[in-house]
Amino acid sequence: DTAVSQTPKYLVTQMGNDKSIKCEQNLGHDTMYWYKQDSKKFLKIMFSYNNKELIINETVPNRFSPKSPDKAHLNLHINSLELGDSAVYFCASSQDDQGSNYGYTFGSGTRLTVV
Amino acid sequence: KQEVTQIPAALSVPEGENLVLNCSFTDSAIYNLQWFRQDPGKGLTSLLLIQSSQREQTSGRLNASLDKSSGRSTLYIAASQPGDSATYLCAVDNFNKFYFGSGTKLNVKP
């Protein structure tokens, strides 16, 4: 019954590989987000989708591409992985693109390690 | 289960005032506590992060304190500006599981 679920929880891969992280929410929320948590634990938004439409696209390398097949899913594809991509990636969802205080829910994170 | 409460729910102040936002949590076994700023349509912006072993963090006009034993944190904003108008959220990190407060909606009037 997890509200926002990310898979995998841990991902170890070699430089240069292409990988995907999946995110699904069963809350009926309209908006989904990807955040990267840096080594200092700060969360930085990467992308936001509202009803399958991209609404936020922060300055991230174009090796990162989000894909939203429907409003319950927002997957993150990363091409040509680099050492600096190692981080924890969080998916989140909210009731609308205003980020309703009561509807903002985070997944448990995916720890990506590039070796 | 961790519960995070923020008081007040909304605050309206004239420009230039100093203000304090409050956050309390029920389970003191936290990894860290973060204060976020939320602007409509822009997700969350992390403002300050306090590790569980720390008491205080400062960034510009912002100062956040943490008293883990009593389950409290405050965010102090000095010399508020209209650009500070936003919703401020505190979140406790129980080892990568974030519990958010309901936020304080701040309006700084010019």
- Under 8 Å between Cβ of B37 and B108: no
What gap in Å lies between CA A52 and CA B52, rounded to an integer? 38
Please indicate if any CB of chain A lies within 8 Å of the CB of B59. no
Contact A17, A11 (CB under 8 A): no
Cis-peptide into A61, omega within 30 deg: no
Q: With cut-offs at 50, 70 and 90, classify the pLDDT of residue B97.
A: low
Of A97, A101, A106, which has the smallest distance from its Cβ to B103's Cβ? A101
* CB interface of B with A, residues 62-101, below 8 Å: 87, 89, 93, 96-98, 100
Q: What is the pLDDT of residue A99?
A: 43
Bridge partner list, A22: A7
Tokens of A99: 């980020």
The secondary structure of residue B18, as a DSSP letter, is -
**Range in A97-101, B45-49, B77-81 the model is least confident about:** A97-101
Tens-digit pLDDT profile for residues A21-80: 999 999 888 888 898 877 655 667 788 888 777 876 767 899 999 999 998 999 999 999
User: For residue A17, what pLDDT band results from cuts at 50, 70 and 90?
Assistant: very high
